Structure 1
């Protein structure tokens, strides 16, 4: 009988083990069914240990929550918790009473998410439903955040992004959340409410069909700008996975006032809280483009008042914007841009186009003020006259130039130069590049009055004082069209012809006025196939008899045989090395100086009759004073023969040295002008040969 004892013992053991296992399963099933009501305290302690944060779970309804269900927890497939009240304590460094207090809570957590949170990764909540919620979210300047759990220290680099908690589902009937973020300069208080949607209502399109909408109203400050937000989104948030390409977007509507800018957005988002991926239509307006860039950390120029509408797509750190219509003052623009904020230095790239651009609307960009409205025009004019200076002196925002890079192609149909005296540029194209604080305008091409302007400009803002370089060429610009000359019907323009030339200039300063005051380089221009007003020449020469005759019989145009201006620039002062307009009647010579540093001028125009006799040299005309208040007068004192010859030769000698450098070109028009200037040189030489001898004492 002894051999049978062993199998019997084994069977008993297996039966016992099976009974125990069955008992455990039955007990576990009963526990899962009942919700393990006695595990409130142990679970509270376990979560507190896992998250390194005090967690409080109420096991029964309190007098404040009489309608809330009692505590229940289930473990199969993840942690599912319902409790009348759940509190998550604030971190030890925080002064707030708690991080989160929720009543009527239904919470779902996956075990893998708990493990990741313990390892210091952003906490992810599969589902959170609450009747009421009160939260305090904080992030300090050193990067520590109240939503970071576990013992892993925060990053030592506060600029590294710290993500908010992730949600698969969020349903809150009523709540208040306070949010403080030192790196972003944010201090907000938001109220949250859940409302049922009426049949046919919708927040957006191309999204899942919602039955309720989550509304958020927030007030406070963001990036140190006043902020007010009204946001509506479908209450069910999409699941956020490592690969969220399969996540179904939720509808999103936003009406926000940030600083001085107002934004309306309607579209969809894959994660409303993270704001990582969304797309939709927007409209925005404000007193300046800079008002839009400040809240989002994008460097945009200071301009006149603007409004814009278009489409917006954001994926991670990349923003894509298509501007269908943008009005800046009276300018009409459009464009398509990409902004990459994930680079060490953010990059803005794209194209800017439009029908019309007024420089007055972009005045603050170059240091001026935008065109004044009717209410402000008179005070501004009075202020300008009181200062007595006309050059823009508004400082450049050089730190903003170093905060972002840019690569933008610009093509504008018409550029208004903010003056009634000059014809607009039609069209204008250029390549704008901003790299490391150096702004470059390359491949500049502008057309006006049948001619064109080409060149490159650079503004180096890497230091405290900006360095400016310009190399500009113009050719074929018809002055009778470019200059708005108002004359009676039938009378010729005061000046006509094709203008060509080149300017190579450098300067430095912290504003446009300072740069102009430090300019150095050269400026040379020539007039081809030109003509000037006969009356204007006679008036310049103060020949009253000839001028009276012109007034009686009518003005006519004198062909220009030679017109050259060669100016040396140093310290912001332009001085003519040679400046002359030679006609069949007379030659007008100009010398003196024009200072952009002091905004003053001292110019002298000497009109010489065709025979070039020093005895017929007329009294010079002087133009003096400031840019805002120029004064014209005749030079005092008689002009004797010896003095006249000295004046003339002083004007002529630089011109004679300039003649060999006049571009003859490859056309008859240029050749004719060069011959005219050679003839003028020969007549000047004749004057020098017949100069009266010096008077012996």
Structure 2
């Protein structure tokens, strides 16, 4: 009774078990044989999905195989993926003895939009041609709906083993043409990746060799955490690089740390290939540490030599959505300004006949290419001329934001005095807008001005203070100075001046000859002030007076930075009696490149004519026109005005407290 009642259910069970056994047997046979009948359907499926021909080419039966247990595994004696219709390359990918392994979880994530992870890629040989046109179309963009500007997420790889790989990459949009020979060989515990790269980047020749040695990862996730020993050497353009360290995720250098050596004929040789604004300089070399984490690069420079300068620093470079940002600290023992050359926006000085002001155009586009925030702290800054003393030290904050360059919180010491201020260059428009607000005080002139007098008193001494508030605009330094507008005020305290200079300014021959015989001395300056106005590049002294116990000297005239000419006259009014003087004001005229000093001929001619006429009466009478009793009233008037200006503080030089970097 029980057998008859259960028989209706037994037959379906038997059928189900039989079907299951047949299915398992079929799967087992399919896995054993590698599902060869799937070759043609898979070719058609991939060709449709990738919109280009995909072929599995068998050299012999059984050389194509797919397996699905434990993941998707594919092997083909040869895999050929054709190029896109607009490409002239023979193929996109041609692989021989290719084996791929993918996990189902990675396929699921890729289907949900995440980057594809390939657990394993092995090939006896791979030949790939990747191309991007100037309009953004790329041969590796497969979907018809892909936008030329759409960023392609490249697959992530775990285990990779390639005996002989060749990659040709051409990118007209970014001006890149590269060819890489790639091989991955060795045992699991000691595999070696070799990459030999040649080509050009932004018209700069590229030749780089990369070697990575370490334990070969078993999975894509392990590849991102496994560190391998890494060495890179070669050149990009004129820059030479050597790096020794370790890296994680060698495929995209997600993690990198080590030491580097860098050298080249100019800092601009580094900046040009990587798109970082750096000035043209003399030859340089640098050593330090390099660390990359994600999209951030950290560089520690232990020692950098640029020309005669010795620098060091720590920097962070971060690629931003709008502009990359370079931040950090620049220090060092010595900086020669001439070594940095035209650092403001990559100025290139251009020689101009008969001109001394640099006329090379600012590279304003370079100012807008990146942002920067750099703290500067340098022990000694050489101003690049033997006539002026160095700044010791110099501190400032350099900022660059959306094309606006600023040097703020500038502080420096020199010759027992100080210098403070702010400088800006706005490069957002067609013309650069330059501004400066500088103050200085207590600068000992006899120590700052290197005067070639070792056996005599200095020509001028004292504590110099002042302020300059000026603006200008143009495409070069010469343009900015030619449009200069503002005010420069100077005051000398506790001043002293060479007696010989004062008497020579008034051509007091008797005093000057006496000093040449007895030796020079210095005169106290009761007052020394200057108030200079700048308008359209022309500087005119509103007041420029030096007052001593012997004479009061005033300067008038103009200096044109637009025409690079000058016309200045110094008038000395003596306060004492002099038996032998010509009293002709010296005049400085000509160009900045070739100035010349002359004497006004009219006063001298009148005195010499009078002396000649009187000589006809008596030889001694010829000396009468050369006798000067002094212009005491006029000299006192100028001296009083000078003292009044000094009391009002024509140039306030009291230092204020500033935040140190």
TM band (smaller chain): 0.7 to 0.9
| Cα drift, residue 471 of structure 1 | 0.7
Q: TM-score, normalised by structure 2?
A: 0.87
- Is the aligned partner of 1:148 residue 2:141? yes
Residues 186, 124 of structure 1: alpha-carbon distance in 2 compared, 3 angstrom cutoff: farther
> What does residue 271 of structure 1 align with?
249
> What does residue 622 of structure 2 align with?
none
- Is the aligned partner of 1:346 residue 2:324? yes
SS for the counterpart of 2:603 is coil
Contact 1:538 1:547 in 2 (8 A): yes
How many residues end up aligned between the 2 structures?
628
> What does residue 406 of structure 1 align with?
372
> What does residue 179 of structure 2 align with?
189
| Cα drift, residue 616 of structure 1 | 7.6
SS for the counterpart of 2:473 is strand
State the distance in 1 between where 2:175 and 2:635 align: 64
Partner of residue 432 from structure 1, selected from 398, 403, 421: 398
| Cα drift, residue 264 of structure 1 | 1.6
SS for the counterpart of 1:473 is strand
| Cα drift, residue 622 of structure 1 | 0.8
After superposition, the C-alpha distances for 1:487-510 in whole angstroms (9 at most, x for unaligned) are 133x21111000011111011111
State the distance in 1 between where 2:103 and 2:542 align: 84
Partner of residue 135 from structure 1, selected from 106, 124, 128: 128
| Cα drift, residue 612 of structure 1 | 9.6
State the distance in 2 between where 1:289 and 1:575 align: 40
Residues 535, 657 of structure 1: alpha-carbon distance in 2 compared, 3 angstrom cutoff: closer
State the distance in 1 between where 2:488 and 2:632 align: 23
| Cα drift, residue 565 of structure 1 | 1.1
State the distance in 2 between where 1:237 and 1:465 align: 56
> What does residue 582 of structure 1 align with?
547
| Cα drift, residue 561 of structure 1 | 0.7
Residues 229, 550 of structure 1: alpha-carbon distance in 2 compared, 3 angstrom cutoff: same
State the distance in 1 between where 2:372 and 2:520 align: 53
| Cα drift, residue 659 of structure 1 | 5.3
State the distance in 1 between where 2:418 and 2:489 align: 16
> What does residue 565 of structure 1 align with?
530
State the distance in 1 between where 2:346 and 2:249 align: 43
Residues 530, 449 of structure 1: alpha-carbon distance in 2 compared, 3 angstrom cutoff: same
Residues 599-610 of structure 1 mapped to structure 2, 5 A cutoff:
599-610=564-575
In structure 2, runs of 5+ residues without a counterpart are: 608-627, 655-661
Residues 424, 261 of structure 1: alpha-carbon distance in 2 compared, 3 angstrom cutoff: same
| Cα drift, residue 484 of structure 1 | 0.5
> What does residue 335 of structure 1 align with?
313
SS for the counterpart of 1:464 is coil
State the distance in 2 between where 1:163 and 1:277 align: 18
Residues 35, 268 of structure 1: alpha-carbon distance in 2 compared, 3 angstrom cutoff: same
| Cα drift, residue 278 of structure 1 | 2.1
Residues 437, 292 of structure 1: alpha-carbon distance in 2 compared, 3 angstrom cutoff: same
After superposition, the C-alpha distances for 1:465-496 in whole angstroms (9 at most, x for unaligned) are 1011111111000000000012133x211110
Residues 120, 239 of structure 1: alpha-carbon distance in 2 compared, 3 angstrom cutoff: farther
Contact 1:573 1:595 in 2 (8 A): yes
| Cα drift, residue 234 of structure 1 | 3.5
| Cα drift, residue 26 of structure 1 | 2.4
Residues 216-615 of structure 1 mapped to structure 2, 5 A cutoff:
216-234=195-213, 247-366=225-344, 387-489=353-455, 491-611=456-576
Residues 164, 146 of structure 1: alpha-carbon distance in 2 compared, 3 angstrom cutoff: farther
After superposing the two structures, state which structure 1 stretch, 141-150 or 596-605, moved more.
141-150
Contact 2:547 2:642 in 1 (8 A): no
Contact 1:398 1:437 in 2 (8 A): yes
Cα RMSD between the aligned structures? 3.2
SS for the counterpart of 1:638 is helix
Larger RCO, structure (CA 8 Å, separation 6 or more): 2
Residues 653, 147 of structure 1: alpha-carbon distance in 2 compared, 3 angstrom cutoff: farther
State the distance in 2 between where 1:322 and 1:36 align: 56
Contact 1:118 1:149 in 2 (8 A): no
Partner of residue 95 from structure 1, selected from 88, 94, 99: 88
| Cα drift, residue 515 of structure 1 | 0.7
SS for the counterpart of 1:77 is coil
Contact 1:120 1:150 in 2 (8 A): no
- Is the aligned partner of 1:26 residue 2:25? yes
> What does residue 165 of structure 1 align with?
155
Residues 462, 658 of structure 1: alpha-carbon distance in 2 compared, 3 angstrom cutoff: farther
Contact 1:37 1:59 in 2 (8 A): no
State the distance in 1 between where 2:297 and 2:563 align: 46
| Cα drift, residue 53 of structure 1 | 4.1
Contact 2:338 2:384 in 1 (8 A): yes
After superposition, the C-alpha distances for 1:208-261 in whole angstroms (9 at most, x for unaligned) are x852312111221223322112111238765886x8896212332211311221
Residues 73-92 of structure 1 mapped to structure 2, 5 A cutoff:
73-92=66-85
Partner of residue 662 from structure 1, selected from 646, 651, 659: 646
Contact 1:492 1:533 in 2 (8 A): yes
After superposition, the C-alpha distances for 1:331-355 in whole angstroms (9 at most, x for unaligned) are 1111111112133222111111111
Contact 1:364 1:394 in 2 (8 A): no
Residues 58, 394 of structure 1: alpha-carbon distance in 2 compared, 3 angstrom cutoff: same
SS for the counterpart of 1:266 is strand
State the distance in 2 between where 1:631 and 1:97 align: 73
> What does residue 9 of structure 2 align with?
10
| Cα drift, residue 610 of structure 1 | 1.1
Residues 140, 408 of structure 1: alpha-carbon distance in 2 compared, 3 angstrom cutoff: same
State the distance in 1 between where 2:189 and 2:122 align: 16
Contact 1:213 1:233 in 2 (8 A): yes
- Is the aligned partner of 1:180 residue 2:180? no
| Cα drift, residue 23 of structure 1 | 2.2
